Structure 1
Amino acid sequence: MFGLQNKFPAYSYSLRNILLATGIITFILVVFSTFSLLQSRRNQHDFDYFHSPSSDSNPLLTVQGVDQLIQEHSYPRLAELADFKGLGELCKSAKSQHHVYLTCRHNVGGLMNVRNMILNCVRYAIEAGAYGLIFPQLEARDPVEIVLVKTGQYKRMEFLFDEGWFRKVLEENCPQMKLFDHIDDVPRSGYATMPDVLTIQTLMGQPLGGANGNLRNKKPHEFRSRFDAWLKTNKRRPSPSVPTIVRLDERTLFSFAPTLDPPAVMNNFGFLLDFRLDLSGLANIIVDRLREDVKKAGGSEYLALHLRREADVAVQKEKWATFDELANKSLSVAAADNINLLYVASGDIESVDELKVKAAKSGVRVVDKHDMLSEHEKEFLNTFAFDQQAIVDYLVLMHSNVFIGSGLSSFSSHLISRREYLANITLTTGDHKYPTVERDELVGPKGRLGYWDMDWP
C-alpha cells in the first residue's frame, strides 16, 4: 500500500505534464493552421489584401474595394483590341505530341523581358505540338537590392499578368493544348520522364555565348524536326502511363522572331499577356487626372519620360543615357511643342527630384505616379513590388502624347514599338484613341535596337 502511495504522486505529476504538453501542442497547431490559412488566402493574390492599413477606412486594402476599382477603371481593357483567329489557326495546324508537356519556369528580369520570355515559351509549346502547357512562372527580383533579379523566389504569372485572361484565350483558341497550374497536376506526373532542362540554342546547334545576339534561333524552321529528334533520344517514349515533361531554360528572351508568323498571329499574339486589372485601373486613374490637369491649364498634351537611372545604371554608365541627356531632350521637346506637363517614370527618387527642380526653371511641371494618386491609392500602390509598380508607369507612358525613353532599356524600346503599333491600329479603324508617334524618341546608346524584331508587339 505504501508503495502505491509513493507512486501515485509521480503518476499524477506525469499525467499533468502530459496534459500540459498536449495543450501546448494543440495551441501551436491551431496557431500554425490559422497562419497557414491566412497565408493561403494571401497567396491567392499578388499583394496582401490583409495588410494592416494606416487607416481602417481605406477600401483599397479590401477585396471589395479592389473589385470596385477594377469595375470602375480597368475597362475597356487593351487586350480587347486583339483578334486571336490567327492564333487558333496556328494551334490547329500544329501536329500534337501526345503526352508531351512543356513548362518554362526561369522567366527572369524586368517587366518587358519577362513578358517576352513567357510569350516565347507559349510559342515554342505550340510549335512543339505540346499536349499540355504548365503555367509559366517568373523569378521575382530582390525587393531591396533591385539589381538582383535571380533570387530563386518564384511567382505565378498573376504576379504581373491577368492569368484568367491568359487561360481564357488559350482555352478558346488552342483547346488541344491542355493547361495545368502545376507539374503535379499533369496526369501521372509522378511517373513522368523529365529530361535535362532544354536550351533552345543547344537544340539548334548554336553556341550559348553571353551576348543577347547569341540567343537568336537562327534556324527557326528546323525547331520542330530537331525537337522531335531530341525526344527520340530519351530512354522512354511519351505514353499515357509515362508522360514526358520538357522544361525550357531562361535563354528564350530573343529566341523566336515574331516576324516568322503571319501578321494575323504576330500582331495579336502579344495580347495573350494582359497586365493585372488592379494595376491597370490605377494607371487609368492617373491618365484621366493628367488629361484633366492639362485641360485646366489650357493645354492639350502631356509629355512622358522614362528616366532610367536605377542602381544598375551606375555599374555600366557608358551604356546608358545620362540624366542630362534625358532631361535636356525632354525639356527641349516640351519647349518646342509648348507642353507644360511632364510625367516621369523612374525608380530613382533623387533623379526625379532633380528633374523637378531643373524643369521648374523652364516652366514645366514634373509629376510621377505618386503625385497623381490619393493617399489611399498610394497606400494600395505601395503593397506592390518594384516590377508590379512598373506596370502602372508603362500604361501611363503608353497613353502619353509624346514619349522619351532610354535607348538601352527594354522597357523604353518596347514602349516605342507598342505605341507605334497602337497608333497604326487606331488610324486604320478611325478611332484616334492613341496618339501618333512621330515625336517619340529614344536617347543614348541604342543597344536594344538590334533585337526589336525579336520582341512581340
Structure 2
Amino acid sequence: MALVPFRLSRPYNGRKLMLASVTCICFLWFYLSFNHPYTSYSSLRAPWDAHDSAGPAPVLQDTSSEQWLEKPDIFDDPPLDSAAIRSVCAKTEWNANLTFTCNNSGGGVGNQRNSILNCLRYAISAGASMTMPRMILRNPANIADIWNRERTSFDYLFDESHFVESLRLSCPQLRILKELESNDTTPIFVTPEKLSEEITPEGIDHPEQWRDRFYGWLRNTTDVQKPVIDLDRSYLQYPIYSDPEEFALDFGKVLKFRQDTRVVATTTLRNLVQKYNLHGDFRSPTWNHTFFGVHLRTERDSQQGWPPTLYEYSKYETQSTNYLKQAAASGTSVMYVASGNVEEIARFAEDAKAYNLSVTTKQQLLEGEDKEKLEAFTFDQQALVDYLVLLKSSDFAGVGHSSFAWNIALWRHQLAKQRDHLNGPQLMSDELSQIYGTVRQYLEYACCLWP
C-alpha cells in the first residue's frame, strides 16, 4: 500500500532575479525531495521550514519583564530537541512496512493531549511510521456529545509544524506521514492496552513487553506485508514513568497549542496585568504574587459524567468553598476563573466578594478584535486560552476528576519544591497547586498523564 507523504507548504518567491548558486541548490533540493518514493515529514525539510517565518526571535538576557510581556506570543517555545527521547528512539528497531493511524482521540484538551501522546509512544515502541493524528470534533451545540462524530485535523488544537520539527529533532527515525493514499488495505483496529495481560490504575503491566505482544498479535491477525494499524483511543493506561524520567518530562513538549490561541492567551495575560496593576517577573514560568487560578468544573459534560449526587467534588458548593478558602490564604486579591458554565462563574464572583476577592475571566479581559477572535473559537479552542493563562498563576486550584486541571497542576509541579505531592492534604498538593479530592483517588492521573 502506497503512502502519501506530507509536504509542508513553502512560500513562493516571485522575483525573477536570483543568484545562480541559490537557484541550483533549490532545484537540487526539490528534485531529490519530490522523487523520493517515501518522502515524509521527517525527510522533507528545507531551511525555512525549521521555524515559522514569523518565529520567535532570540530572547536577550537583558529583556525586562515588561518588554517580555509586550511580545505577541509568550508561549511560542522552540521545537523540542530532547536527548532523552532521541536515546529511546535510537535503541528502537524500526519497521518501514508498519504504519499506525491515530484518529480516535476525543474529549477536551486534557483528553486529546494524552491520547495523542500515548498513540505516539506506542508507535515508537513498535518502531512504526505514523500518520498525522486526527481527533473527534465535539458537537458545538451540545458539549456533552463527544463520541461517534466526525474527525478533524491535528491543527484544530495543536501546532503542526512544532510537532513535526520536534520529532525530526528528537526522534529522527520516526516517519510522520500526512495520510494513507487509498483504502486498498483496510486498517486493522486494535485497542493497544488489550494486548497487555493486566491493567491497573497505574497503567498496563510491563510496558517494556508491549512491543513483543503487539508483534505476536499482528502475526496471528494478518499476513499483509505492509499493515496499517488503526489505534483505538488510549487515555490513562500507559505508565509514563516506565520510561526514564527525562523522557517522561520531555515527551509532552512535542505538543504546542495552535498559534492564534497562544496569541489570545498572551493578550489576556497582558490585559490582566494592566487592569489589576500586577507586578512580578513575567518572564518566569509561573508568576509569583500576581493572581490565583481556578478551574471551576461544573459544565454540562462534567455534571453528566460525574453527577453531583454521587460525586462530592462535582458540586459547585464543594469546589467554590475550597477554592475561595485557598485563594484567601494565598495573599492574592485577583482570581482568574476558567469554566464553560457562565452562570456558575457569576455565582462564584458574587461569593468571592465575602473574601474581598475580585474575579475575572478571559471574556472580561478581552475587547474589540481580540474578543472577536476569542468568540470565533470553539469550546475546546477557548479552553486552550484558559489552560495557558492558568499555567502562569501564582496558585492554582482544580478538582480530581478533571484531566484539564491535572495537566496544569502536573506541569506546574515540575517547578515546585514540595515533592510528596500525592500524600495530602488534598488529592494533589504542593506550594503551586491543589487538586481537590480524596487522597490516593484517581491514581491513574498521577501515573499515566504526560506533564
Please indicate the TM-score interval, normalised by the length of the shorter structure: 0.7 to 0.9
Name the counterpart of 2:449: 455
1:215–1:145 Cα change, 3 Å: farther
2:276 is the alignment partner of 1:278: no
Tell me what 2:297 maps to. 308
Tell which deviates more after alignment, 316-325 or 269-278.
316-325
CA distance in 1, matches of 2:148, 2:294: 29
> 2:361 corresponds to which residue?
368
**Which aligned pairs between 1:110-129 and structure 2 lie closer than 5 A?**
110-129=108-127
Instruction: Spell out, residue by residue over 1:84-138, the C-alpha distance to the aligned partner (whole angstroms, 9 max, x if none).
Output: 11111211211112311111111111111110010010110010011x2111111
Q: Which amino acid aligns with 2:132?
A: F
Q: Does residue 1:245 correspond to 2:228, yes or no? A: yes
Instruction: Give the superposition deviation at 1:192.
Output: 3.3
Counterpart in the other structure of 1:269: 251
1:42-441 equivalent positions in 2, closer than 5 A: 72-75=71-74, 77-78=76-77, 82-130=80-128, 132-184=129-181, 189-192=182-185, 194-195=187-188, 197-206=189-198, 213=200, 216-238=203-225, 243-250=226-233, 252-295=234-277, 300-315=289-304, 316-317=307-308, 318-319=310-311, 320-423=313-416, 437-441=430-434
Query: Does the 8 Å contact 1:231/1:237 carry over to 2?
Result: no
Deviation per CA, 1:350-399: give whole Å up to 9, x if none: 00111111212332111011011112111111111111110100111110
The 3-state SS of whatever aligns with 2:376 is coil
| 8 Å contact from structure 1 (residues 193, 236) kept in 2 | no
Q: Match of 1:52?
A: none
- Contact 1:69–1:281 (8 Å) recurs in 2: no
Q: How well do the aligned residues superpose, as a CA RMSD in angstroms?
A: 2.9
Secondary structure at the aligned position of 1:344 is classed as strand
Instruction: Give yes or no for contact 2:81–2:169 (8 Å, CA) kept in 1.
Output: no
**How many angstroms apart in 2 are the aligned matches of 1:263 and 1:75?**
27
More deviation, 214-223/300-309: 214-223
Conserved in 2, the CA contact under 8 Å of 1:279 and 1:391?
yes
Sort the Cα spacing of 1:194 and 1:407 in 2 relative to 1 into closer, same or farther, 3 A: closer
Unaligned residue ranges in structure 2 (runs of 5+):
1-8, 10-52, 58-70, 281-287, 418-428
The CA deviation at 1:79 is 5.8
Displacement of 1:437 in angstroms is 5.0
Indicate the SS of the match to 1:148. coil
State the SS of the aligned residue for 1:268: helix
Partners in 2 of 1:451 and 1:296 — Cα distance? Answer: 33
AA partner of residue 412 (structure 1): A
Q: Is the 8 A contact 1:105 1:138 kept in 2?
A: yes
Q: 1:374–1:70: structure 2 CA closer, same or farther, 3 Å change rule?
A: farther
Match of 1:35 in 2: none
Gaps of 5+ in 1: 1-43, 45-66, 208-212, 425-435
Amino acid at match of 2:299: E
Q: Distance in 2 between matches of 1:115 and 1:278?
A: 18
SS at 1:168's partner residue? helix
Distance 1:235 1:407 in 2: 41
1:356–1:366 contact (8 Å) kept in structure 2? yes
Where does residue 8 of structure 1 map in the other structure? Answer: none
How far apart, CA to CA, are the structure 2 residues paired with 1:411 and 1:178? 30
Identity of aligned residues (%): 29
CA contact (8 A) 1:83 1:268 kept: no
What TM-score comes out, normalization by structure 1 length? 0.74
TM-score scaled by length of structure 2:
0.75
Residues 249 and 313 of structure 1: CA distance in aligned 2, closer, same or farther (over 3 Å): closer
Residues 141 and 151, structure 1, Cα contact 8 Å, conserved in 2: no
CA apart distance, 1:329: 2.3
Deviation at 1:235, TM superposition (A): 4.1
Alignment coverage as a number of residue pairs: 366
Change (3 A) 1:116 1:337: closer
Report the Cα offset of residue 300 of structure 1: 3.9
CA distance in 2 between partners of 1:296 and 1:230 (Å)? 58
CA contact (8 A) 2:237 2:444 kept: no
Q: Distance in 1 between matches of 2:270 and 2:447?
A: 33
One-letter identity of the residue aligned with 1:334: A
Query: How big is each residue's C-alpha offset from its partner over 1:227-253, in whole Å with a ceiling of 9 and x where there is no partner?
Result: 121222244242xxxx21111112x11
Structure-1 separation of matches of 2:402 and 2:278: 33
Cα 1:423/1:285, change in 2 over 3 Å: farther
Alignment of 1:16-55 (within 5 A): none
Q: Deviations over 1:278-305 (max 9, x none)?
A: 1111112222222334436999421111
Residues 192-225 of structure 1, C-alpha deviations (whole Å, 9 max, x = no match): 3633x01123322458xxxxx5793223121111
Q: Judging changes above 3 Å, is the alpha-carbon distance between structure 1 residues 287 and 437 closer, same or farther for their aligned structure 2 residues?
A: farther
Return the letter of the residue paired with 1:165.
Answer: H
Q: Measure the CA separation in 1 of the matches of 2:324 and 2:171.
A: 48
Which residue matches 1:432? none
Q: Is the 1:294–1:301 contact (alpha carbons within 8 Å) kept by the matching residues of 2?
A: no
Please report how far the alpha carbon of residue 270 of structure 1 lies from its aligned counterpart in structure 2 after TM superposition.
Answer: 0.6
| Secondary structure of the corresponding residue to residue 266 of structure 1 | helix
Residues 1:292 and 1:69: Cα distance change in structure 2 (over 3 Å): farther
Amino acid at match of 1:401: S
- Structure 1 distance, partners of 2:247, 2:260, is 28
Secondary structure, counterpart of 1:354 in structure 2: helix
Max Rg structure: 1
Could you tell me which amino acid in structure 2 is paired with residue 380 of structure 1? Answer: K
